[in-house]
Amino acid sequence: MVKIIGIKPLPNIPWQERPEGCGDVVWRYSNNPIVPRDAVPCANSIFNSAVVPYHGKFAGVFRIDNKLREMRIHSASSENGFDWNIDPEPFRLINPMAEEVGPFIYGYDPRCCEIDGEYIVTWCNGYHGPTIGVAKTSDFKTYTQLENAFLPFNRNGVMFPRKIGGNYAMLSRPSDNGHTPFGDVYYSESPDLTYWGKHRFVMGTSLGWQSTKIGAGPIPIETDEGWLLFYHGVLTSCNGYVYSFGACLLDLDKPWKVIARTAPYLIAPQKPYEQIGDVPNVAFPCAALADSQTGRVAIYYGAADTVICLAFCKVDEVIDFIKHNDLADALKAYEK
Ligand code: BMA
């Protein structure tokens, strides 16, 4: 079996077996969505959200677009990973640099990474346009903001769960100030979570579902085969953007090196809750839990910019799928 490295067993990982007759490597939870759009009174929609194991239970940082259509982040907690209590108030963000950088404007698409016993939340932070906001928390009640990782415009800042070459490491997706019709994934390092450099290109757009732009999804999962990274890809259809997701394996020591990457998608928006909502045709993963003992993986994804959903896979099967459906092979066949 593929070995999941660096994380404790998670026997209470939310899980449902693959339905009978389903041949897909990633399958959806039968009771999706797990969080409806109106789970708290202020919410217009609740989606693209992050979760982590926390003191034997689960903690979350959820994206809520409120009824003023402001984009906010709220803390959440859960006993079982399926049923969530969401704080009706936005997260308490303490910003020691507020005098210099101004107040919080908006925040969306959070990710949450446990590293060296601390929880680091990254999100798309409004600062003269979108860039990567960073904060630390230990209790999921108060969050202390750090410097923005990058200059505007940037989105999809996703930390690695351990230092690489002695530095913190993050993937991100430089973008523009609008709905960005392009986007590749880059890697950066920082000695102190303040100064970011050593920027490396990781991967760009390619065929089909990932032809317009791509962006890192959940915190990568370390395995003895490489970093397992789920990522979203966007296709431009006659009817607008279509957000699907696939996965890749990145080199453990030099994560800007792609070992293999799925040519086909793993999940594309095909269920009504992914096709109908505030933004139709979106499946956008922001978190994944993994159990190192069983190889079970639970993926949290936003659907149609409206609700939160769950999907499942097994680490062996998904890595096998990535290797046997590698984009590099598809591109070779394409050239013939
Ligand atoms: C992206 C982000 C995501 C969103 C997606 C589809 O640019 O804003 O939050 O899910 O568009 O609208």
pLDDT at site 1: 86
Q: How far is the CA of 234 from the centre of ligand 1 (A)?
A: 10
Contact 132, 157 (CB under 8 A): yes
Contact 214, 231 (CB under 8 A): yes
pLDDT at site 334: 77
Contact 268, 26 (CB under 8 A): no
For the CA of 63, the nearest atom of ligand 1: 9
Contact 216, 185 (CB under 8 A): yes
Q: How far apart are CA 20 and CA 144, in angstroms?
A: 46
Q: Phi first, then psi: what are they for 315, rounded to 5°?
A: -60, -40
Contact 23, 83 (CB under 8 A): no
Q: How far apart are CA 71 and CA 109, in angstroms?
A: 9
108 lines ligand 1 (CB under 6 A): yes
| Closest alpha carbon to 286 in 232, 210, 207 | 232
Q: What SS3 class is residue 292?
A: coil
Which of the following CATH numbers is that of domain 27-335: 3.65.10.10, 1.10.1200.10, 1.20.1560.10, 2.115.10.20?
Answer: 2.115.10.20
Burial (Cβ within 10 Å: 0-12, 13-18, ≥19) of residue 323? middle
Residues of the chain falling short of pLDDT 50? none
pTM recorded for the entire structure = 0.98
209 lines ligand 1 (CB under 6 A): no
Q: How far is the CA of 8 from the centre of ligand 1 (A)?
A: 32
Rounded to 5°, the CA angle 109-127-116 comes to: 55
For the CA of 284, the nearest atom of ligand 1: 10
Q: How far apart are CA 247 and CA 269, in angstroms?
A: 16
280 lines ligand 1 (CB under 6 A): no
Nearest residue by C-alpha to atom 4 in ligand 1: 305
